[in-house]
Amino acid sequence: MPATRLPPRRDWFRRDGLSAAAAVRAHREPLRVLRADLRTAYLDAYSDRPWPPETLPSHERALRMGAEQGAPDPAAGIEVDVRDDGRFAVLAALAPYSVCAEARDGEGQQLYGAYDTGTGLCVTLTPAQEAALAARLAPLDLTALYRTRG
């Protein structure tokens, strides 16, 4: 049987110098666009800065999730079931502030990577996902928040 040809994807990186609100949006909106394609996600409930007050309930839930998974460090490598709305909400709430949040598709390809307490972000999108993200970000243009490799 011939292999299924997947649509081409392009990497987008978060621009430097964004306002705090724009940076948070730049992290959360791609997760929402990518959610249907995601199969696994991992989150570190660590940040190099204090957690914003609005994230504290999600941070507490993430630590409970890590403890339930029996990891020696319940704040590191927390597996997030992206099909569960509540757990996905934890990922979306903490990813902009975490030292590391990653999500992969069913083939193991990383589609989302947030690093360094929100300063690093790479999302890998199909053209349809780029259009969906642009619609979610309107009236901002994608290039106001992200750049490609080229």
Task: Determine contact, residues 14/116, Cβ cutoff 8 Å.
Answer: no
Neighbouring residues of 64: CB distance < 8 A, sequence distance ≥ 6: 74
**What is the pTM (predicted TM-score) of this model?**
0.92
For 77-115, the pLDDT digits (tens) are 999 999 999 999 999 999 999 999 999 999 999 999 999
Task: Determine contact, residues 35/84, Cβ cutoff 8 Å.
Answer: no
For 15-40, the pLDDT digits (tens) are 999 999 999 999 999 999 999 999 99
**Which residue, among 108, 150, 146, 107, has the nearest Cα to 129 in the 3D structure?**
146
